A and B are shown apart, each in its own frame.
Chain A
Amino acid sequence: MNFVPQLINLFATLILMLSFAMISQRRIVSLINLFMLQGVALVAASILLGYATGQADLYVSAALTLLLKVILIPWMLHRVVRRLNVRWDIETLINIPTTMLVGIGLVIFSFSLALPISRLSSSMAGGALGIALSCVLLSFMMMITRSKAVPQVIGFLSMENGLIFAATTVTNGMPMIVEFGVALDVLVGVLILGVFMFQIREKFDSLDIHNLEALKED
């Protein structure tokens, strides 16, 4: 039993690495696959924590994440990408090395923020709060610096991954009602965003967010 916290820390580090890999990724298909891998790591961490603490809630949460984040949403996104024929390189607002440098700054920031809080936590994986917080911030940054719609959606979803991970590790899971509510919101959000993306594509013939700026009053 001694190395359950170590395994959880390992999964946490894996999630962080995947967040970083997503920031530095150029291709949309690989981005979706990395997001799916992140979901798998999250599921594994939840199951492990559930097994260690004996709380059944975590199993349900893991199953929910598996269904949504690993199977359903990546499948939908792959379909969207194929229908809209968006396969290629992603243009970024600032170039990738600079993005990664800002990422490091965010990581330092969230780590130094999380250290005192994680000492107060009673969960066995309290040390992973900093990692979870940095995942949230990194995904947020990904949303800001990408100029196509699909990576922004993925950034939003990955942010939610980070939040769930943070809740799981520090407080051993969120109340079930909240969990279901959040999951439903995410699903609806993705559906709406999917419709949105079709509309954007029809109006402007491309998914570049910059085109939305043409909508302002002149």
Chain B
Amino acid sequence: MSFLGLISQLMAIAVALLLAPLMTGWVNQWRARLQNKSAPGLLQPYRVLHKLFIKESVLAEHASTLFRMTPYIVFGCMLLACAIVPTLSTDLPLSPAADAIALVGLFALARVFISLAAMDVGTAFGSLGARREMLVGFLAEPALLMILFCASMISRSTSLTTIVETLAHRELAIYPSFLLTGVAFTMVSLAENARVPVDNPDTHLELTMIHEAMILEYSGRHLALLEWAASMKLLAFSCIGLALFFPWGVAEANAPLALLLALPVLVVKLAVGGVLMALIETFSAKMRIFRVPEFLATAFLLAVIGLLVNILLGVG
């Protein structure tokens, strides 16, 4: 583990922690602008986090230790996920510890814990949210795995850093299977991050909630950690998408100058991605809950077909 590797790992973690609320703020701003509303400030999520941390945490009378532990566990999982996705550099000492499959497992672990915590208080909305979240998860998780498999087949590796390096070094080639998996990845991202058309993050109608229903009982610092973890999840997904489909600009080992350059490149890429996400959210309507399995099944099957096209066309 070289010194530069350690620096790039720490930078990746710091960028994830600090940039994630900014990304959420950016997407919210653009959503508001596209809908002709006056936008909140770009730094609003930071203020919200600060406000929540200051407040006292109110727990239900019979909430168990699992309920109290979950925000920290989810935060830890998302931080680890951001640490292993090659955002700034592929020289990450932590990356041999977890590859693409373990990344999907990490998201699944966070999802299971938050669903269990939602069921813990024993209210109707908590278990409703848990049930729906597991429904979204059971289809989104295999779809994400298949998308990562498609990339793994091309780069002959499931290690995320190797995938990024291989794809960035290949001559400019158009992979048809990436068209299919790109569409599938967009659909899965929208579902996993609780965005329109699967779930509306701004809603206040409990019967339409998926993600929000699970965190109804949390307040204070626990809610702050969960919100932060949600924005880190959005950042992680965006970075996975960038790493798979637009891997240029990510620094490699022993390239300190490239590391410095990678940060502005990342910010630009994320900004464009955020605007696109806001566009998609504005142009679609939220689906009824029982159409969500069809939506996700389409994503899953598109990813599988992408895999098959990959095999059919040889190189992919």
Bound Cα distance from A161 to B184, whole angstroms: 25
* Smallest Cβ-Cβ distance to B315: which chain A residue: A6
Q: How far is the CA of A20 from the CA of B183 in the complex (A)?
A: 12
Closest Cβ of chain A: how far from B275's Cβ, in Å? 24
With a cutoff of 8 Å between Cβ atoms, the chain B residues found around residue A96 in the complex are: 294
Contact of A9 among B294, B302, B313 (CB under 8 A): B313
**CB contact under 8 A between A97 and B305, given known A3-B173, A14-B179, A115-B312:** no
Q: Which residues of A contact B309 (CB under 8 A)?
A: 13, 16, 131
- Provide the residues of chain B in CB contact with A7, threshold 8 Å: 174
CA distance A121 to B308 in the complex (A): 20
Identify whether the interface residues of B are mostly helix, strand, loop, or mixed. helix
User: From residue 95 to 121 of chain A, which have CB atoms closer than 8 A to chain B?
Assistant: 96-97, 100-101, 103-104, 107-108, 111, 114-115
Q: Are A127 and B314 in contact (CB under 8 A)?
A: yes
Provided the pairs A20-B302, A20-B305, A107-B305 are in contact, do residues A97 and B297 lie with their beta carbons within 8 angstroms?
yes
List the B side residues contacting A24 at CB < 8 Å.
294, 298
Asked if B302 and A17 sit within 8 Å, CB to CB, the answer is yes
How far, in whole Å, are A97 and B298 apart by their CA atoms in the complex? 8
Total number of A-B contacts with CB less than 8 angstroms? 61
Q: Is A164 an interface residue (CB 8 A)?
A: no
A10 located at the interface, meaning its Cβ lies under 8 Å from any Cβ of chain B in the complex: yes
Kindly state the interface size class of chain B when it binds its partner.
20 to 34
Task: Kindly supply a per-residue 1/0 record for chain A positions 1-19, scoring 1 wherever the CB is within 8 Å of any chain B CB and 0 otherwise.
Answer: 0010011011011101100
A residues within 8 A CB of B311?
A: 111
- Decide yes or no: A104 and B305 within 8 Å by CB, A17-B183, A96-B294, A130-B312 being known contacts: yes
Could you tell me the distance between the alpha carbons of A43 and B315 in the complex, rounded to whole angstroms? Answer: 25
Are A10's CB and B308's CB within 8 A? no
- Tell yes or no: B76 within 8 A of A by CB: no
Instruction: List the A side residues contacting B293 at CB < 8 Å.
Output: 97
Nearest Cβ distance between residue B312 and chain A, in whole angstroms?
Answer: 5
Say how far B190's CB is from chain A's closest CB, in angstroms: 16
Q: Which residue of B lies closest to A110 (CB)?
A: B312
A97 touches B312 (CB 8 A): no
Instruction: Tell me the A1-55 residues at the B interface (CB within 8 Å).
Output: 3, 6-7, 9-10, 12-14, 16-17, 20, 24
Bound CA span A10–B306, Å:
12
Residue of A nearest to B297 (CB): A97
Measured CA separation A3–B305 after assembly (Å): 22
The complex places the Cα of A102 from the Cα of B168 at a distance, in Å, of: 36
Q: Which residues in A have their C-beta under 8 angstroms from that of B305?
A: 16-17, 20, 104, 107
B312 contacts A17, CB within 8 Å? no
How far in angstroms is the closest Cβ of chain B from A41? 11
Contacts of A16 in B (CB 8 A): 180, 305, 309
- For the complex formed, measure the closest distance between the CB of A151 and the CB atoms of chain B, giving whole angstroms: 17
B179: which of A17, A97, A108, A128 is its contact (CB, 8 Å)? A17
> For the complex, what is the distance from the CA of A130 to the CA of B309, rounded to whole Å?
9
Q: Does B40 contact A (CB under 8 A)?
A: no
Q: Which residues of B contact A20 (CB under 8 A)?
A: 298, 301-302, 305
Q: Is the CB of B174 within 8 A of A17?
A: no
- Identity of the chain A residue whose Cβ is nearest the Cβ of B179 in the assembled complex: A13
Q: In this complex, what residue of B is CB-closest to A24?
A: B298
Given contacts A10-B179, A13-B179, A14-B179, contact A131 B312 (CB under 8 A): yes
Determine how close the nearest CB of chain B comes to the CB of A159; give it in whole angstroms: 19
- 1/0 contact trace for B55-75 toward A, CB 8 Å? 000000000000000000000
Least distance between A4 CB and chain B CB atoms (Å): 11
Contact assessment for A10 and B298 in the assembled complex, using a CB-CB cutoff below 8 Å: no
Q: Which residues of B contact A114 (CB under 8 A)?
A: 312
- Bound CA span A114–B314, Å: 13
The answer to whether A13 and B177 touch across the interface, beta carbons within 8 angstroms, is: yes
Complex CA gap A100/B180 in Å reads: 15
Residues of A within 8 A of B313 (CB): 9, 127-128
A127 to B313, CA, bound (A): 6
Interchain residue pairs with CB less than 8 A apart (22): A3-B172, A3-B173, A6-B174, A7-B174, A9-B313, A10-B179, A12-B176, A16-B180, A17-B179, A17-B180, A20-B305, A97-B297, A100-B297, A101-B301, A104-B301, A104-B304, A104-B305, A107-B308, A108-B308, A111-B311, A114-B312, A128-B313
Contacts A10-B176, A13-B177, A130-B312 supplied; 20 other A-B pairs, CB < 8 Å: A3-B173, A3-B174, A6-B173, A9-B174, A12-B176, A13-B176, A16-B180, A16-B309, A17-B179, A17-B302, A20-B298, A96-B294, A97-B293, A97-B294, A104-B304, A104-B305, A111-B312, A128-B313, A131-B309, A131-B312
Ordered nearest first, which 8 A-B pairs have the shortest CB separation? A13-B176, A9-B176, A6-B174, A97-B297, A10-B176, A111-B312, A127-B313, A100-B301
